[in-house]
Structure 1
Amino acid sequence: MTGLALGRIVIGATALASPDVAAKLFRLDAARNPQLPYMSRLFGSREIALGAVTLVSKGAARRKLVALGMAVDGADAFAGYDAMRSGSVNQSVGVGLTVPAVGAVLAGAIGLVTGR
């Protein structure tokens, strides 16, 4: 759970501080999407907040925050899949957006089950 929270903070800080780097990381076309830096920063601040509050929480509160993170990651997975399905992104990019989000859901579930 700690690694997942730290990962959120790193990804969020990247998206917040440098949306262009985040766009490249996610393989999104920043040149054709002038609103992408704004959306990246929204995403980044959400990830930082969720990661930070998870890190400082303990016990049942931490488990609830991990579950919340799983829900957010599940929504992100759906968004990646839906973008691919609708043609907003090509299949390769869609898979690259969806698989890490599904992986985060699984990591959260493993953390909840094992207590780590």
Structure 2
Amino acid sequence: MNPALGLAAARVVIGGVALAAPEQGARLFRLDPVTNPQLTYVTRLFGAREIMLGAAALVARGRARQALVMAGVAVDVADSAAGWLAGEDGTVDRTTSYLLTAPAVAAALAGLAGVRRA
């Protein structure tokens, strides 16, 4: 399977969890929705974004799919930076920072591999 399509499917699943169960979604990222109740709102925003990026890439074809996958790569690079910066400024501890950053880097690499393979 093309890594970009696997990534797109994973986006839909992860986004669905974040949208339907935002507290559990936040906890998957080692974030605490109890001490920060606004986190459920932001988690739902994340979920909607992931569902749309994934679903659009799955239904598109050709250059449109490549453009959508590259948009996802750009988002993943931004997410990587956000995870890293959260560790640098103390918003989250180092372990959480790594756990936020690593999947985003892996997603960006999978997207790039998928575009290259296509």
Shared fold per TM-score greater than 0.5:
yes
- TM interval, shorter chain, is over 0.9
Instruction: Give the structure 2 partner of residue 105 of structure 1.
Output: 108
Instruction: Give the structure 2 partner of residue 7 of structure 1.
Output: 10
Instruction: Give the structure 2 partner of residue 19 of structure 1.
Output: 22
Mapped partners of 2:67, 2:76: distance in 1: 14
Contact 2:81 2:101 in 1 (8 A): yes
Instruction: Give the structure 1 partner of residue 86 of structure 2.
Output: 83
Mapped partners of 1:8, 1:63: distance in 2: 16
SS at match of 2:36: coil
2:54 aligned to which of 37, 51, 62: 51
1:33 aligned to which of 36, 40, 52: 36
Q: Structure 2 length as normaliser, TM-score? A: 0.96
Structure 1: runs of 5 or more not aligned: none
Mapped partners of 2:33, 2:40: distance in 1: 8
SS at match of 2:91: coil
Contact 2:5 2:114 in 1 (8 A): no
Instruction: Give me the CA root mean square deviation.
Output: 0.6
Mapped partners of 1:87, 1:80: distance in 2: 11
1:62 and 2:65 are equivalent in the alignment: yes
Letter in 1 for 2:54: G
Letter in 1 for 2:95: S
Mapped partners of 1:101, 1:20: distance in 2: 20
Letter in 2 for 1:4: L
Instruction: Give the structure 2 partner of residue 94 of structure 1.
Output: 97
Count of aligned pairs? 115
Displacement after TM superposition at 1:113 (Å): 0.9
